[in-house]
């Protein structure tokens, strides 16, 4: 049997990973008055998870990258 080599982006997030992502998400939402159930919040959450899976682990670095990326998409009105 050939062992499968998995990179970090394929490994499920553990509780510590999720705590970090949640803290960054909450901080960004608070700082920019984004409601939790908005489409923009979904985009932010998706971006946080994507960057985290790509290896951005430092919360401040993760937050700054997401805040820069926020300027690339328009807030979506429901």
pLDDT in tens, 23-77: 999 999 999 999 999 999 999 999 999 999 999 999 999 999 999 988 765 555 5
> Residue ranges of the alpha helices (H) in 2-38?
15-31
Q: What is the pLDDT of residue 71?
A: 77
Q: Does residue 11 fall inside a structural domain?
A: no
Q: Does residue 10 fall inside a structural domain?
A: no
pTM of the predicted model as reported, rounded to 2 decimal places: 0.78
- Find the domain containing 64 and state its range: 23-70
Q: Does residue 17 fall inside a structural domain?
A: no
More confident residue, 38 or 3: 38
How many domains, in total, are found in the chain?
A: 1
Q: Does residue 16 fall inside a structural domain?
A: no
Percent helix, strand and coil across the chain, each rounded to 5?
Answer: 60, 0, 40
Say if residue 6's pLDDT is above 70.
no
Q: What is the pLDDT of residue 9?
A: 58
């Amino acid at each position: 049997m050939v062992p499968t080599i998995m990179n970090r982006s394929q490994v499920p997030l553990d509780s510590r990973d999720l705590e970090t992502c949640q803290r960054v998400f909450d901080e960004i939402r608070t700082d920019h008055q984004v409601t939790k159930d908005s489409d923009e919040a979904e985009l932010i959450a998706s971006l946080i998870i994507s960057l985290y899976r790509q290896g951005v682990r430092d919360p401040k670095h993760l937050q700054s990258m997401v805040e820069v990326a926020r300027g690339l998409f328009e807030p979506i009105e429901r």
